Amino acid sequence: MTDLPDRPTLPPYAEAMGIAIERSEKTTPILTMDFAEHVQGRPGYLHGGAISGLLEMAGFAALKAHLDAEDSNRELKPINVSIQFLRGGKSQMTYAAGRIHRVGRRNAHILVEAWQDDRENPIASAVMNILIAPAEN
Amino acid sequence: MATAPSIFDPSKAAILLQHGHSGWLGAEYLDHGPDWVELALPWHEKLVGQPETGIIASGPIIAMMDMATALAAWTKRGKFVGQATLDLRVDYTRPAKPQHTVIGRGECYKLTKSAAFVRGIAHDGDPDDPVAHVAGVFMTLQAPRA
């Protein structure tokens, strides 16, 4: 693992799932999740819940990186997420990255995609609305 | 379509929950009715999304609701058919209480040959004060024989 000084940290859930930040494109973190038994649904395929977890982590990481770049210390809370499962997730590495469509003062709208072989043909996508609350501490 | 007595028993099918991602999450079968299934997700450190508060991440809640609603679809259909989640929407109405078991109740409100329409709630003790509402659609991988 390379040590990137400015990369956002992932919560215990992401680490336990094997989700990692591989690199950043400009400020957008690219997350990875390797295939393993604990993310499997039907035999040989990723569980939809594991794909959802990866998508949400990528969405939060994208927004956090964006706010960090603006030196804004905020607390992020999910409002809702709508996930589209486009293809079965095969038993291989999966990547995910979020694209921020709008950041307001109170909420952000983010499009997230997960892919395997070909970024142009994602296996799943998500639209997330995230509440941006003032940090409580 | 004639309604046959259900031969799909989610309390027995819950053995599915012991494998793969479901097994890792620790989701457990609680109860079921003709078109609904209730699962429990005990709190665990590895599911935490906010280390400062101990609140679990949203991913495990989505995963449990995916399972609860999938089981509800099979229960209403009365048999197991291969199905894949087409889409799933989750509204997070409030954060789950730290260290609390989250209960997920999935309901299948409409079946067609090719799809199952589902909805559900997740709560941490009071079903009238859910932590999340979900709605989704499963597509059957092969049209079930009548």
Q: Which domains does chain B have, with CATH numbers?
A: 10-140 (3.10.129.10)
Q: Are residues A52 and B66, on separate chains, in Cβ contact within 8 Å?
A: yes
What would the mean pLDDT of B26-35 be, rounded to a whole number?
A: 95
Query: What gap in Å lies between CA A131 and CA A137, rounded to an integer?
Result: 17
What DSSP element (H or E) covers B30?
strand B28-32
**Closest chain A CA to residue B26:** A38
* CA within 13 Å, CB half, B97: 11
Q: Tell me the chain A residues in contact with residue B19 when contact means C-beta distances shorter than 8 Å.
A: 40
Q: Tell me the chain B residues in contact with residue A49 when contact means C-beta distances shorter than 8 Å.
A: 21-22, 25, 59-60, 62-64, 66-67
Query: What gap in Å lies between CA A109 and CA A130, rounded to an integer?
Result: 7
Under CATH, which number does the domain A12-134 receive? 3.10.129.10
Query: What gap in Å lies between CA A52 and CA A59, rounded to an integer?
Result: 11
Q: Tell me the chain B residues in contact with residue A17 when contact means C-beta distances shorter than 8 Å.
A: 59
What confidence category does residue A4 fall into, taking pLDDT thresholds of 50, 70 and 90? very low
What DSSP element (H or E) covers A125?
strand A124-134
Q: Which of B16, B40, B37 is nearest to B27 (CA)?
A: B40
**What are the residues facing A53 on neighbouring strands?**
none
Q: What is the ipTM of this complex?
A: 0.89
CA angle B22, A85, A114 (to 5 degrees): 90
pLDDT of residue A2: 45
Q: Are residues A38 and B49, on separate chains, in Cβ contact within 8 Å?
A: no
Q: Where are the alpha helices (DSSP H) in chain B?
A: 10-13, 20-25, 58-77
What is the tens place of the pLDDT at every residue in B131-143? 999 999 999 987 5
B122 pLDDT more than 90: yes
